[in-house]
């Protein structure tokens, strides 16, 4: 998973209300070069969507986002999740995922939270909410202290600032829901999703080739 994050630089965050649309959304993202897909559990359709993608889109690396409890970790893994993402750093979530040998990326916004996660053995952390938690200046500060940690900024990241985030040495990838607009999912406009994914991958490749 770490190699995939480093290679693509982008994780698509998907909020889906209709599980029937999960497979075409996942295929559209993969067609655009973004196989790392985080389906959030913010909606009742989340687990079903994960299960459908896991079964029908083998080229995708499917994970569960907005995982808030150990019970949800188990449910997500049972549905086919290959990684777990959480908005905060909750020990039960981390421990449950680790016990299942499933990569887990808890959210941190402060040095205290990052230190707690570091002491749980974690070296890839979600930085959330990225924009509101201090953006790039905060990432620079955290990266200077936690030198063996890579961060995945999510929240406030978009095509306009993706390159700036990925240019930071401490950033392994960025998560974002801008790749899957609710309007595009609702209308079945999967080409727009593919185009947005391809644009993001292009930005990531250009940024990292310059480095």
User: From CA 207, how far away is CA 168, in angstroms rounded?
Assistant: 10
Cα 62 from chain centroid (whole Å) = 10
Contact indicator for 84, 104 with CB cutoff of 8 Å: yes
| Cα atoms found within 13 Å of the Cα of residue 42, Cβ hemisphere only | 14
User: From CA 98, how far away is CA 143, in angstroms rounded?
Assistant: 24
User: From CA 77, how far away is CA 67, in angstroms rounded?
Assistant: 11
User: From CA 125, how far away is CA 123, in angstroms rounded?
Assistant: 6
In the numeric block, which tokens belong to residue 184?
């595009």
Contact indicator for 81, 62 with CB cutoff of 8 Å: yes
Cβ within 8 Å of residue 71, ≥6 positions away:
none
Catalytic residues: 38, 126
């Amino acid at each position: 998973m770490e190699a995939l994050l480093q290679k693509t630089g982008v994780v698509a965050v998907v909020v889906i209300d209709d599980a029937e649309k999960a497979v075409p959304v996942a295929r559209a993202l993969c067609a655009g070069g973004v196989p790392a897909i985080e389906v959030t559990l913010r909606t009742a359709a989340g687990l079903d969507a994960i299960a459908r993608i896991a079964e029908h889109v083998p080229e995708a690396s499917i994970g569960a986002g907005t995982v808030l409890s150990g019970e949800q970790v188990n449910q997500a893994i049972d549905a086919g999740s290959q990684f777990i993402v959480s908005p905060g750093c909750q020990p039960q979530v981390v421990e449950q995922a680790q016990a299942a040998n499933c990569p887990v990326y808890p959210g941190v916004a402060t040095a205290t939270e990052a230190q707690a996660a570091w002491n749980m053995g974690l070296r890839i952390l979600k930085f959330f909410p990225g924009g509101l938690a201090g953006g790039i200046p905060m990432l620079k500060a955290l990266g200077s202290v936690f030198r063996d940690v890579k961060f995945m900024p999510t929240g406030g990241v978009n095509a306009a600032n993706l390159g700036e985030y990925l240019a930071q040495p401490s950033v392994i990838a960025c998560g974002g829901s801008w790749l899957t607009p609710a309007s595009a999912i609702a209308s079945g406009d999967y080409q727009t999703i593919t185009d947005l994914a391809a644009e993001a991958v292009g930005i990531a490749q250009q940024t990292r080739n310059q480095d």
